[in-house]
Amino acid sequence: MQGGSSGIGYGLKYQARCISDVKADSDHTSFLAGTLSLKEENEVHLLRLTSDGTELVCEGLFSHPNEIWDLRSCPFDQRVFSSVFSSGESGGAAVWRIPELYGQLNSPQLEKIASLDAHTRKIACVLWWPSGKQDKIVSIDEENIFLWALDCPRKAAQVQSQESVGMLQNLSGGAWDPHDVNAVAATSASSVQFWDLRTMKKSSSIDSVHARDLDYDIRKKHLLVTAEDEGGICIWDLRKIKAPIQELPGHTHWTWTVRCNPEYDGLILSAGTDSVVNLWFSSSLCNDDWASERMSDSSAKKTNPLLRTYSDYEDSVYGLAWSTREPWIFASLSYDGRVVVESVKPHIPGK
């Protein structure tokens, strides 16, 4: 289904690429978004959807040093998040705490918990321990993977282990396997690499793949989705990595980001530099009951995996985030600083 946006919008002051679901906020549907201004003072916006679902409001606005290239909310503390930032040739990564708001829009300064200052190369991302409350985080730069122990009370982060992946690898992103806390996947210029955090050695790789982003299926083991340069997404069974089990073309330019739904089998979001967001249903990711229900909804023998295209954007879409609290809701962020929250309830079987 082709369509414009019917969602709820909010405008950031500057250009932006990063948005994150505030997973630890069990009382509100909340998102963090960070700006990417070269000349102005950058900002982190704490956004919350009103209880009636009709408005997206800013609950906190915080100054942040430098351009924000990666932003991840802590999965067990709603006031803590990580960021990767740069200014010209220099950059860094840090873990921050949001101050108590007391209902004020222009809140006090962010509190820096720790700097991840062991990097000498350009940092791509920071990953939080995928499930439960743990003090471990991973950071990835162009040539290295670091495992850190984070001590929030003491405002410190210590490197536990580190491994160089070698020159010319140009790591650009990653994801922590929610089913195996010892496994991390990283995107490089021409492959997806899998690393064992116990040995800090590469365990396997998918070669000749040009992936800009990737996401594990939270509900099913061994399944990974990649955002492809060629204009679509690929779904992989990590037990059989010679070829994807499903290829879903649907973008006319680079696919920049991909996200699997945290609750509903088979639902995937993708977005990129063609200024659209695609909502997919993949039978490869869903259980047999749901697959049967989805198939029975259609008189066609073969259902179209593309459920909807959201095309009402004026710039590239770099950020996507499903809500953990209300998993039928997602937020998108386009480069012009526009946040849009949409509901996919009409596309969920049984809803």
Q: List, in sequence order, the alpha helices (H) in 19-114.
A: none
More confident residue, 245 or 90: 245
**For residue 4, is pLDDT > 90?**
no
Confidence of residue 166 (pLDDT cuts 50, 70, 90): confident
Q: Cβ distance 125 to 70 under 8 Å?
A: yes
Which domain does 118 fall in, by range?
Answer: 2-347
Question: Taking the C-alpha atoms of 101, 103, 109 and 115 in order, what is their torsion angle to the nearest 10 degrees?
Answer: 30
Q: Cβ distance 46 to 65 under 8 Å?
A: no
| Residue keyed to tokens 């919350």 | 48
pLDDT, average across residues 197-221: 95
**For residue 91, is pLDDT > 90?**
no
pLDDT, average across residues 45-56: 94
Output the domain CATH number for residue 127. 2.130.10.10
| Residue keyed to tokens 């309830």 | 345
pLDDT, residue 298, reads 45
Global pTM reads: 0.92
Q: Residue 146's closest CA among 165, 130, 167?
A: 165
**For residue 89, is pLDDT > 80?**
no
Which tokens is 153 given? 């009370």
The overall average pLDDT reported for the chain is 90
pLDDT, residue 289, reads 47
Which tokens is 337 given? 């600083």
Dist. CA 195–CA 198, nearest whole Å: 9
Dist. CA 40–CA 34, nearest whole Å: 13
Dist. CA 193–CA 18, nearest whole Å: 23
Q: How far is CA 22 from the centre of its chain?
A: 12
Tell me the CA end-to-end span of the chain in Å, nearest whole number: 18
Confidence of residue 107 (pLDDT cuts 50, 70, 90): low
pLDDT, average across residues 142-168: 92
Which tokens is 326 given? 């209300």
What's the one-letter identity of residue 15? Q
pLDDT, residue 106, reads 59
**For residue 117, is pLDDT > 80?**
yes
Split into its structural domains, the chain has a count of 1
CA angle 197, 201, 206 (to 5 degrees): 100
Dist. CA 224–CA 185, nearest whole Å: 9
pLDDT, residue 191, reads 95
Report, in angstroms and rounded to the nearest whole number, the Rg of the chain calculated over CA atoms.
19
Dist. CA 294–CA 290, nearest whole Å: 6
**Reduced to 3 states, what is the DSSP secondary structure of residue 345?**
helix
